[in-house]
Amino acid sequence: MSETTVSEKALQEFLLYLGSALTIAGEAVNQIQERLLRVASAYGAPDARVSVFPTFLVVSLDAARPTTQEPTRQLGGGLRLDQTAELYRLLYKAEHGRIDPADGIREVRRLVAMPPRFGSVVRVLGHAVLTVGICMILKPTWGDVLLAGVFGLLVGIFKLTGARWVSVQMIMPVVASFTVAAMTFLLTGTGWGEADLRAMVAPLATFLPGAMLTMAVVELSAYEMVTGSSRLVAGILQLGLLAFGIVGAAQVFGVPTPGAPADVATNTLGWWAPWIGPLIVGLGNYLMLAGPSRSLGWLCLVLYAGWIGQYLGNSVLGGYLSGFTGALTLTLVAYLVERMPSGPPALVSFLPGFWLLVPGALSLIGLTEYLGNATAIGAEDLIGAASSMVAVALGVLCGHPLYRGLERSIGWSRRGR
């Protein structure tokens, strides 16, 4: 076999590995195809063709050469924030032809197999911290915060278990939502604890498929029908599983009689609680998803940008569209942060924002109305969450081309890592 053939084969395999890693990191397929074509061009294959699908990739270095197909799942499912940051550093080198394709393949395998920066206990505690942060933006009582922390620990253990056994990952949203909802209904019904929807929503927010639905909207807008539709169906299914668990708990244990909205205590912590929430959410994400070193400050900056954008958007457009302004601001700031010398890739900093923006939009819509209404566990709550996620998706969809336009008008070049 000639040296040229070996080089072409290595490049083709490198493109497949890079594409697979970007897919499981959660990047939109139109962005993956654009980046892979840039890599191919850097290695002397400007006529390469790349197609990315939900579970496999197809790569050809030009129309006259053989096509190679590779399953995406060969690398496993999902990347942590530290792995995603490593992947984008490798991607930048590849886009400029600064790494041998064979070495690049080994780097992809290494970063996918690298152990998390934090141990299991820290990551479970991180989920509890994240849950408390989400609860604080929902205008909670002290009892809500305490229960949200306990539920967050429990759901964190569920998530850790699901990560170890792939066979139980699919049912984990049902198990978690049923357990948390059942405990909430029991505590409220017996009078043993101060429990309401806020304590129940916060620990389950990490199951909301905000990132998945957002990428589905981005892909559908780019006419990537197969992948966009697949993500959309998967996201809707996850929402359905969450709703099934809550409805199942209501059927088994009954729903406590709701009080009037005026009787529901809100934000007994003080005015500062919703504003400290993004900081705690950022810390929780950093611990749970093993954020890369020196990224915590940037992560909190992006989250606060999204939160402030959402808060101001509520004043102008109302609660249902506040997610749009929050996501638009968050996306722009995430890409600006990426340009900073120590800033993490945009995907690292804005994906955690969905767990802040969707519950935040619900709180702006008026959570006290839900707390005083028996339909809170039913269609109205689900429609509110779905509408908020659509608004967030549209904000991201508008934010990326807006940044690219700004980048072209100012003449910025892509920075190194």
Cα separation of 54 and 178, whole Å? Answer: 29
Q: What is the pLDDT of residue 6?
A: 45
The Cα-based distances of 300 to 195, 207, 393 in angstroms read 29, 21, 20
Residue 263 has pLDDT above 50, yes or no: no
CB 2 within 8 A of CB 23: no
Residue 408 has pLDDT above 80, yes or no: no
Q: What is the pLDDT of residue 377?
A: 43
Mean pLDDT of 267-272: 76
Cα separation of 153 and 134, whole Å? Answer: 14
- Which token pair is 224? 């990537």
**Angle (deg, nearest 10), helices 296-317 and 354-371:** 40
Q: What is the pLDDT of residue 76?
A: 56
Mean pLDDT of 304-312: 91
Cα separation of 19 and 110, whole Å? Answer: 15
Q: What is the pLDDT of residue 155?
A: 92
Return mean pLDDT, the chain. Answer: 80
CB 355 within 8 A of CB 205: yes
CB 26 within 8 A of CB 215: yes
CB 42 within 8 A of CB 97: yes
Say how far residue 182 (Cα) sits from the centre of its chain.
Answer: 26
Higher pLDDT, 278 or 216: 278
* CB proximity list for 49: less than 8 A, separation 6 or greater: 58, 59, 60, 62, 63, 67
Kindly indicate the confidence band of residue 416, based on its pLDDT and cuts at 50, 70 and 90.
very low
Mean pLDDT of 23-38: 88
Residue 5 has pLDDT above 70, yes or no: no
**Residue pLDDT, tens place only, 363-379:** 444 433 444 444 444 44
Q: What is the pLDDT of residue 379?
A: 46
**Residue pLDDT, tens place only, 387-402:** 777 778 788 888 878 8
Residue 58's SS3 state is strand
pTM of the predicted model as reported, rounded to 2 decimal places: 0.83
Cα separation of 96 and 92, whole Å? Answer: 7
Kindly indicate the confidence band of residue 192, based on its pLDDT and cuts at 50, 70 and 90.
low
Q: Which of 99-108, 186-195, 203-212, 224-233 has the lowest mean pLDDT?
A: 186-195
**Angle (deg, nearest 10), helices 319-338 and 354-371:** 160
Residue 172 has pLDDT above 80, yes or no: yes
Residue 95 has pLDDT above 70, yes or no: yes
Which residue reads 């890739």 in tokens? 345
Mean pLDDT of 221-236: 84
**Angle (deg, nearest 10), helices 81-95 and 3-25:** 140
Nearest Cα to Cα of residue 205 among 287, 284, 142, 304: 284
Residue 334 has pLDDT above 70, yes or no: yes
Mean pLDDT of 79-103: 91
The Cα-based distances of 213 to 28, 276, 300, 371 in angstroms read 11, 27, 23, 26
Q: List, in sequence order, every residue forming a beta bridge with 50; answer none if it has no partner.
A: 59
